[in-house]
């Protein structure tokens, strides 16, 4: 009915996805994310070796994806990564300047992705064969591109805020099993998954795309110059940092305060009763619409025009539609039929997380990851309860496996990475299959290990 449909758009998850997206946009808009990335990549010793730089680049990308959606993280980090790639290739090859002496050329971070290859082409001295910069012949470019994708996806599973899929799974866990999975409980499983998948993805990329360059002279200076261009932190950056820290505090204080103050402390009990993870979203939105970036001009971190333009309405509609579809399937008895069929297969508690991961991983290449998360959590959580497995483990493994890594049409995350034009379809598929296997295997294993204590 119309009333039931309208109710879908008043769900807590609707405002959750809207808030996390707008916070990510504001962090990027104010330049805080770029400052963060350049700061960590400028750590002494990191930029002198291609191998260390690549790993730290993936690590920084992954950490950013803890709180910024996978696709947004890729959109932010990919231009930086490809600029670094072009800079590395240029700095490790002599170029001829007007005087005929050897010179080193660095490229700015804000070079458009599509023009990086052409921009990096410099004349080589007579008799010296220049390195080909074609993406099909450049393992370094492929490493940066796929490394950005895999690191962003790995980081997206570390926290509940990392991807919309996670919030969908949490909402379904509460609706189906009446179980609340807290911020730290998720991180207890999500963070080990993140680090393990990140390291294995790095090794996988080394296997397929071993960099042709080991030592990098001059990249540290390149990064230092880029940091200088940013200048001092603006009021907007400081205020969006305040919003970010408040967000993290609201997520972490409720489970931490009982340990610090005691379970019976009045403030601990009050905060635990009133501060759910869903209440964080409206508080953050109020701050974004209230804190200034320019006091003289009266400009704020976010205005309604920007919010309307930058809110991912297609994702919000997808989320609400997925939940609505799941409710409709449940009303018509389809969920019960499928759930009973799975129960009849006599899957063990040890096998269910792997089954959930494989089924979700395959499906998400043909249907949206949000829809797959909503449907499979609704079907498999009752199965987990039936066989004695903590249903929270299903609420974690399903969204972990719901981000496709194999085909460009598998979702906005992989589509964003592929859209930069630095990944061939052949490489995306052949490496993506193994990356998907790594994600499913690692996530299912950790979910099984931590299930008794979630």
pLDDT digits (tens, 9 = 90+) for 63-87: 988 887 787 788 778 877 877 777 7
Dihedral angle, C-alpha 47, 48, 54, 56, nearest 10 °? -50
More confident residue, 328 or 433: 433
Average pLDDT over residues 103-130: 35
Higher pLDDT, 334 or 311: 311
Torsion of CA 225, 226, 229, 233, to 10 degrees: -120
Instruction: Give the C-alpha separation, 181 to 8, whole Å.
Output: 22
Residue 85: CB atoms within 10 Å: 29
**pLDDT in the model for residue 200:** 97
Going by the DSSP 8-state scheme, the letter that residue 44 receives in this structure is T
Give the pLDDT score at 93: 60
pTM above 0.85, yes or no: no
Please give the Cα distance from 376 to 345 (Å, whole number). 16
Return the pLDDT at 106. Answer: 37
150, β-bridge pairs: none
Which pLDDT value is given to residue 130?
35
135 — pLDDT class (breaks 50, 70, 90) = very low
Residues 157-168 have a mean pLDDT of: 87
Quote the CA–CA distance of 1 and 23 in Å, as a whole number.
Answer: 33
Query: Domain residues of the chain, as ranges?
Result: 2-453
CA-wise closest residue to 307 among 286, 328, 321: 286
Is 129 a residue whose pLDDT tops 60? no
pLDDT score, position 10: 63
Higher pLDDT, 385 or 336: 385
Q: How far is it, in rounded angstroms, from Cα 194 to Cα 445?
A: 13
Higher pLDDT, 230 or 101: 230
Structure-token pair, residue 290? 């209230």
341 or 302, which is more confident: 302
Indicate if the pLDDT at residue 100 is higher than 50.
no
Confidence of residue 401 (pLDDT cuts 50, 70, 90): very high
* pLDDT at residue number 114: 36
Q: For the packed helices 352-363 and 425-450, what is the interaxial angle rounded to 10 degrees?
A: 150
Q: Are 360 and 373 in contact (CB under 8 A)?
A: yes
Cβ neighbours of residue 241 under 8 Å, at least 6 residues apart?
32, 233
Give the residue among 57, 69, 20 at the shortest CA–CA distance from 198: 57
Q: Distance of alpha carbon 418 from its chain centroid, rounded? A: 15
| Per-residue burial over 383-414, b = 16 or more CB atoms within 10 Å of its CB, e = otherwise | bbeebebbbbbbbbbbbbbbbbbbbbebbbbb
- pLDDT mean over 290-301: 90
Residue 98 has pLDDT above 50, yes or no: no
Give bridge partners of residue 294 from the DSSP assignment.
Answer: 299
Phi, then psi, of 234 in degrees rounded to 5: -85, 170
Q: Which residue has the higher pLDDT, 380 or 6?
A: 380
Contact 202, 148 (CB under 8 A): no
DSSP string computed for 244-291? HHHHHHHHHHHHHHHHHH-TT-HHHHHHHHH--HHHHHHHHHHHHTTS
Output the pLDDT for position 151. Answer: 95
């Amino acid at each position: 009915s119309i009333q039931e449909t309208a109710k879908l758009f008043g769900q807590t998850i609707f405002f959750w996805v809207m808030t996390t997206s707008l916070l990510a946009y504001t962090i990027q808009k104010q330049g805080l994310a770029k400052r963060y990335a350049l700061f960590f990549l400028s750590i002494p010793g990191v930029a002198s070796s291609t191998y260390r730089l690549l790993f730290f680049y993936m690590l920084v990308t992954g950490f950013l994806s803890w709180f910024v959606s996978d696709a947004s993280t890729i959109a932010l980090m990919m231009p930086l990564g490809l600029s670094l790639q072009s800079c590395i290739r240029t700095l490790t090859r002599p170029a001829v300047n007007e005087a005929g002496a050897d010179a080193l050329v660095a490229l700015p971070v804000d070079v458009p992705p599509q023009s990086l290859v052409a921009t990096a082409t410099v004349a080589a001295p007579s008799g010296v064969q220049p390195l080909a910069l074609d993406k099909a012949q450049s393992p370094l470019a492929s490493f940066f591109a796929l490394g950005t994708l895999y690191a962003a996806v790995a980081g997206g599973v570390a926290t509940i805020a990392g991807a919309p899929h996670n919030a969908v799974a949490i909402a379904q866990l509460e609706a189906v099993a009446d179980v609340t999975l807290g911020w730290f409980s998720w991180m207890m499983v999500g963070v080990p998954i993140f680090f393990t998948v990140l390291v294995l993805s790095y090794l996988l990329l080394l296997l397929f795309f071993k960099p042709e360059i080991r030592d990098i002279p001059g990249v540290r200076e390149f990064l230092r110059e880029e940091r200088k261009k940013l200048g001092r932190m603006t009021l907007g950056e400081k205020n969006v940092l305040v919003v970010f820290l408040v967000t993290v505090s609201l997520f972490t204080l409720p489970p931490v305060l009982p340990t610090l103050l005691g379970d019976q402390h009045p403030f601990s009990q009050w905060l635990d009763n009133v501060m759910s993870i869903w209440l964080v979203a409206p508080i953050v939105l109020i701050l974004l619409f209230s804190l200034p970036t320019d006091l003289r001009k009266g400009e704020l971190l976010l205005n309604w025009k920007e919010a309307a333009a930058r809110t991912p309405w297609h994702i919000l509609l997808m989320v609400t539609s997925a939940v609505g579809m799941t409710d409709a399937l449940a009303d018509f008895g389809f969920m019960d039929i499928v759930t009973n069929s799975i129960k009849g297969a006599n899957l063990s508690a040890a096998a269910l997380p792997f089954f959930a991961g494989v089924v979700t991983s395959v499906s998400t290449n043909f249907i949206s990851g949000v829809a797959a998360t909503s449907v499979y959590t609704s079907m498999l959580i009752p199965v987990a309860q039936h066989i004695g497995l903590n249903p929270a483990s299903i609420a974690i493994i399903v969204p972990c496996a719901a981000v496709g890594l194999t085909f460009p049409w598998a979702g906005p995350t992989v589509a964003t990475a592929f859209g930069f034009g630095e990944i061939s379809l052949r490489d995306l598929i052949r490496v993506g299959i193994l990356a998907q296997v790594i994600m499913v295997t690692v996530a299912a294993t950790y979910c099984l290990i931590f299930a008794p204590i979630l």
